[in-house]
Structure 1
Amino acid sequence: MFKGYVISAAVGTTFVVLVLWLVCSSVAGMPSQYAQERKKMADKERSMRLGSQLTLNDREEMVNCYLMSLKQFMIATSTAGKTLFPPSQHFFHTKADIDNSTLFHIIQMMPKGGSLHLHESCMTSLEWVIKNLTYMDNLYTRMEESGEVRARLYLFSQASPGTEWTLMSELRAAQTDVDRFDQELLDTLAMWGTEPYASNHEAWNDFHAYFRGIDGFLTNMESRRLYDLHGIEEAYDDGLQYLEWRVSANNTDMVEYIRMLQGIVKDFKAEHPDFLGVKVIFEGMRESTPATVSDNVRKVANAMKLFPDEVKGYDLTNEEDVVNRLEHFVDVLVDDEGTALLPYFFHAGETTWSGGADMNLLDAVLLNTTRIGHGFATVKHPEVLKAVMERPIPVEVNPVSNQVLALVRDLRDHPASSMISYGAPVVISSDNPNVYFAKMQSHDSYAAFMGLASQQDDLRLLKQLAINSLKYSAMTETEKTDAFAAWQIRWDLFVEEVIAKYNLESYCQKPNL
């Protein structure tokens, strides 16, 4: 049934239901010539899909057999109207069901390579932030009515800004229920609710409030060191061996920060030799003036000279629909000959509009961007898509973030579904996982496999996405060679662990031919 392996009939009802669904889904009574032409067309389309060029070995086929039985059974029960298909529903409503599924547990076990689109300020779990950083000495806080989606917001500072600020230790000591107070702190930071955001703009309003809250921890290098270290630990535990994250260019002493990061990574690699490291893309804000962006570019260029192994380029971020577009900054991003001054990794096309902010995609391509962040609107721009395919320009796809920020409701409708069908250079990342309690990568890998992929896309897609995350990283070619070797060791271990954990030697068997 699945590439040389069949599910043992001993598995019972699940298998029977799946077989009936597959049989009922087939087409009977078709003229042979028509059937041949149809198969030829379908085979050609399949051969274009991301991951289609990979060949699985016998052990991988065994895992694939089980993985696809889980996927197809979920699809079968959903199309029959017996269950709701998780990727078609909002993450707020389905996270608990996803977390409890065997398929998700397998994806969690999987070594995913690297994450190429993370924001430092949005990566480390908020539960850890509350239980650790808000208990640090000399932390001050002030609560205000936010006036946005969330009713109120706690601000934090590690030096007293004024008389209206209170020591967090004193405020907590005055509480009759400390656990409830800590939960309130968590709730004022998280982007989580019983209902999805009504619009992308509403989500961004709440997002801006989050940044106001978290920034108080990232202005102090010691709390920032602890925060980044725990972020690396969470990423590694979620199957990631390599990270690239965006760091604010406006509020960071680049030299001090990179030296701090070097120490963290060195210590972590001493305990985890297969961890490959962290590289940084500094980010400016789109609402900045050209003069500020020009200053950012100069500072990043200097940082790249001082730390060529860690600092890889520059990006501009924030809500694309309401702030300056890339064309506003072209003069300070290129030299007199029109050549890009730095390697760029531009956010572009993170919008549902056409002919507006999505035009950032054209400028990103013309500015020779190394990768495109989000690229949600890429399929609306034939010339951009052509450049993506031919150069290639990898697109950093963040499906759960796109759903939470109200760009797409049903992940089956995500534009990256088309890019996967074309075999485009897609990488999957998580963007801002902590604000909606997602894992560093697993929830987005699940979303890609179950929502963006076709019903037939299998382990080869997941494996290709892991490979892409290293192939399209900012590592040198020598670093990539070492990275693939380290990842392959973990991949082979993963295959054997899944076979052993789920007894696949008896579940998925080669037929007697």
Structure 2
Amino acid sequence: MVNSLCLTLLTCVPLLWLVRESAGMPDPARRDLLMREEASRQTGGLLALTAAEQKLDANLHRFKEQEMAATLFLPALHFFKAKPLIEKSAIYRLLQKMPKGAALHIHSSSLVSAEWLVKNVTYRPHCYICFTWDNSVRFLFSTLQPFPRWDCFYWQLLESLRARIGDNAGFDSSLIQHLTLFTENPDGEYPNQDVVWEKFEKAFIAAAGLITHAPVLRDYIYQGLEELHRDNVMYLELRSGLSRTYELDGTIHDKIWTLKLFQEVTSKFKQNYPEFFGARIIISVHRALSVSEVKAAVTEAIQLKKDFPDVVAGFDMVGRENSGRTLWDFREALSLPAELGASLPYFFHAGETDDEGTDVDQNILDALLFNTSRIGHGYALAHHPLAKELSRKRNVAVELCPISNQVLKLVSDMRNHPAAVLMSEGHPLVISSDDPALFGSTGLSYDFYEAFVGIGGLKANLGTLKELAANSIRSVHDAQGMFFFFFTVVHNNLNEITFNSFSFTFYFYNLKINLQRLQIPIFGFTEKNPDNGFR
């Protein structure tokens, strides 16, 4: 770390001297040197590309120039309008084939595509539906007619309802609309954040009765892993409240049962797909809860982490930041692990707001005070210079979810996303999809496209993609084993990307150098060096 700092001082001081005031024409050589130095600071800017990689990078740059010169710049369009056009993009098709590492910010209620829920789950026997007074739906599996409740007075068996309607395709499309935010007129239907968040939360509630049915949950987890694996994702950390699951006979299962099920399904998936590293749960509670309720949740999470160390990754607080309590409000609860000497890593949502200067805006600093391992969204981080400096020094990555930020109306044109500043400075970033099912996406490729083309612009290159994928692996808590797996399995079975007869073997980065920087020997691994210098 000291050597790295000295090197930085030795290189930066002369370069700063180069930009001193000049009475005449600036020296072109000095200008070129400054440009190279600035480019080296961006995400992936220090990675050396092989000859084959340089060839692919040139193709990527050409494709990007063509897309930026087009009449419609896709990252400036709302994703609901841009999606079919993105799917035709040469860059997107290449990104689909790219190994992406880990998906570190996805919520369990939106893991699997809504189309699968409707086409598969709602056609299963004993599935009932109820249309609510606030233009939403509820689902429930039951052998008998469900009793009326405050939000559902009349339950109908879906099999019978479909038979009466006689238009399965049209009816299924209407169900998908209840389970997603998709609309052909997003700006008109969602004029502000309050409106889109209301629909957002309704969709979560609507899906709950399907997902929490025990037989469905088993298939749902497997399907979610399959959709990620299909998009070349090798590891998942899933935020979940571990809601109670129910059987057809009314039996209710607790969180321990759900964790065991998750462990069982993940193990089965890894047997079928040995190149998939695994999946873990980040236990999540809603920030609308009381302090005493969060205390109880943290205490429970500590025990679950102890009982299921390979399944539970840590703890987070979810829900809209602008309308919930701040992290500081829960300081007594969130201090419990440290006070008890217990292990419970935090992965806090923080800075998913554009309300600069408010109490909510301080969640960024508070997350770091509570030693968060990563920052969920971190949209506001660029406006907090101290927090930005601290997170970079600690290698605390920002979980960047571009499509979510756009759909939930934090940004409209990706070129204006504050993560562009973070990317230009080489701040640790990972790409994730947040709630893919609600946005009509799957995997990570759509979000990679928005980040690479829109946020990164022409400066983002193949080195940027390699660094983003690598960041996702090194940002996993206790990732030593994954690094070993990543290099021995993935690196030795290189994925080949073929594009228009141009074949390129995709290297993430040099194996030997990075193992040395991590202090991981080839035939084993040691404790991760906290000052590894990665960005």
User: When the two structures are superposed, what TM-score results if normalisation uses the length of structure 1?
Assistant: 0.86
Alignment of 1:39-54 (within 5 A): 39-54=32-47
Q: Does the 8 Å contact 1:340/1:368 carry over to 2?
A: no
1:397-421 deviation line (CA, Å, top 9, x unaligned) = 0001100010001001111111011
1:365-414 deviation line (CA, Å, top 9, x unaligned) = 10111110000000111111011110121110000110001000100111
State the partner residue of 1:121.
109
CA distance in 1, matches of 2:31, 2:236: 43
Q: Does the 8 Å contact 1:241/1:487 carry over to 2?
A: no
- The one-letter amino acid of 1:445's match is F
CA distance in 2, matches of 1:385, 1:223: 42
Q: Does the 8 Å contact 2:242/2:258 carry over to 1?
A: no
Q: Does the 8 Å contact 2:473/2:479 carry over to 1?
A: no
Question: Which one of 123, 147, 154 corresponds to residue 162 of structure 1?
Answer: 147
State the partner residue of 1:70.
63
Q: CA 1:95/1:74 → structure 2, altered by over 3 Å: closer, same or farther?
A: same
State the partner residue of 1:198.
191
CA distance in 2, matches of 1:284, 1:48: 37
State the partner residue of 2:349.
347
How many angstroms does 1:230 deviate by?
0.4
Alignment of 1:246-285 (within 5 A): 246-249=239-242, 251=244, 253-285=254-286
User: What's the Cα RMSD here?
Assistant: 1.8
- The one-letter amino acid of 1:170's match is S
State the partner residue of 1:102.
90
How many angstroms does 1:336 deviate by?
9.5
- The one-letter amino acid of 1:54's match is L
Alignment of 1:127-166 (within 5 A): 127-146=115-134, 152-159=135-142, 160-163=145-148, 164-166=154-156
1:250-287 deviation line (CA, Å, top 9, x unaligned) = 54732111211122112111121100000110100000
CA distance in 2, matches of 1:65, 1:247: 41
Task: Choose 255-264 or 280-289, whichever is displaced more.
Answer: 255-264
How many angstroms does 1:445 deviate by?
0.4
Q: Does the 8 Å contact 1:300/1:314 carry over to 2?
A: yes
State the partner residue of 1:17.
none
State the partner residue of 1:238.
231
State the partner residue of 1:18.
none
How many angstroms does 1:339 deviate by?
8.0
How many angstroms does 1:455 deviate by?
0.9
Q: Does the 8 Å contact 1:238/1:442 carry over to 2?
A: yes
Q: Does the 8 Å contact 1:334/1:340 carry over to 2?
A: no
Aligned residues: 461
CA distance in 1, matches of 2:317, 2:243: 11
- The one-letter amino acid of 1:351's match is T
Q: CA 1:180/1:277 → structure 2, altered by over 3 Å: closer, same or farther?
A: same
Structure 1 residue 470 corresponds to structure 2 residue 473: yes
Q: CA 1:52/1:332 → structure 2, altered by over 3 Å: closer, same or farther?
A: same
- The one-letter amino acid of 2:441's match is A
1:170-207 deviation line (CA, Å, top 9, x unaligned) = 21222221111111111121101122322222111011
Give SS of 2:392's match. Answer: helix
CA distance in 2, matches of 1:394, 1:339: 26
State the partner residue of 2:434.
431
Q: Does the 8 Å contact 1:50/1:420 carry over to 2?
A: yes
State the partner residue of 2:512.
none
Q: Does the 8 Å contact 2:99/2:495 carry over to 1?
A: no
Give SS of 2:292's match. Answer: helix
State the partner residue of 1:503.
502
Q: CA 1:336/1:100 → structure 2, altered by over 3 Å: closer, same or farther?
A: closer
Unmatched runs of 5 consecutive residues or more in structure 1: 1-30, 147-151, 506-513
Q: CA 1:103/1:476 → structure 2, altered by over 3 Å: closer, same or farther?
A: closer
Give SS of 1:71's match. Answer: helix
1:475-497 deviation line (CA, Å, top 9, x unaligned) = 4312321123333345x3224x3
Give SS of 2:406's match. Answer: helix
- The one-letter amino acid of 2:105's match is H
Give SS of 2:491's match. Answer: helix
Give SS of 1:435's match. Answer: helix
State the partner residue of 1:223.
216
CA distance in 2, matches of 1:339, 1:483: 34
State the partner residue of 1:420.
423
CA distance in 1, matches of 2:338, 2:407: 41
Give SS of 1:455's match. Answer: helix
1:115-167 deviation line (CA, Å, top 9, x unaligned) = 00010111101111101110122111101242xxxxx2221012354152111
Q: Does the 8 Å contact 2:414/2:450 carry over to 1?
A: yes
User: When the two structures are superposed, what TM-score results if normalisation uses the length of structure 2?
Assistant: 0.83
Q: Does the 8 Å contact 1:66/1:504 carry over to 2?
A: no
How many angstroms does 1:32 deviate by?
6.4
- The one-letter amino acid of 2:270's match is K
State the partner residue of 1:179.
169
- The one-letter amino acid of 1:153's match is S
How many angstroms does 1:503 deviate by?
3.5
CA distance in 2, matches of 1:250, 1:358: 29
Q: Does the 8 Å contact 1:111/1:494 carry over to 2?
A: no
1:284-330 deviation line (CA, Å, top 9, x unaligned) = 00000111111111111111111101101110010111111111110
How many angstroms does 1:333 deviate by?
1.1
Q: CA 1:305/1:336 → structure 2, altered by over 3 Å: closer, same or farther?
A: closer
Q: CA 1:99/1:340 → structure 2, altered by over 3 Å: closer, same or farther?
A: farther
State the partner residue of 2:399.
396
CA distance in 2, matches of 1:112, 1:178: 37
How many angstroms does 1:72 deviate by?
1.6
CA distance in 2, matches of 1:250, 1:177: 33
CA distance in 1, matches of 2:331, 2:348: 13
Q: Does the 8 Å contact 2:298/2:336 carry over to 1?
A: no
1:202-227 deviation line (CA, Å, top 9, x unaligned) = 11101111011011122222111111
State the partner residue of 1:370.
373
Q: Does the 8 Å contact 2:137/2:206 carry over to 1?
A: yes
Q: Does the 8 Å contact 2:350/2:375 carry over to 1?
A: yes
Q: Percent identity?
A: 33
- The one-letter amino acid of 2:502's match is N
- The one-letter amino acid of 2:86's match is I
Q: Does the 8 Å contact 1:153/1:189 carry over to 2?
A: no
Structure 1 residue 38 corresponds to structure 2 residue 38: no
State the partner residue of 2:390.
387
CA distance in 2, matches of 1:480, 1:326: 32
Larger relative contact order (CA 8 Å, sep ≥ 6): 1
Q: CA 1:286/1:340 → structure 2, altered by over 3 Å: closer, same or farther?
A: farther
- The one-letter amino acid of 1:271's match is N
CA distance in 1, matches of 2:176, 2:460: 38
Q: Does the 8 Å contact 1:316/1:346 carry over to 2?
A: yes
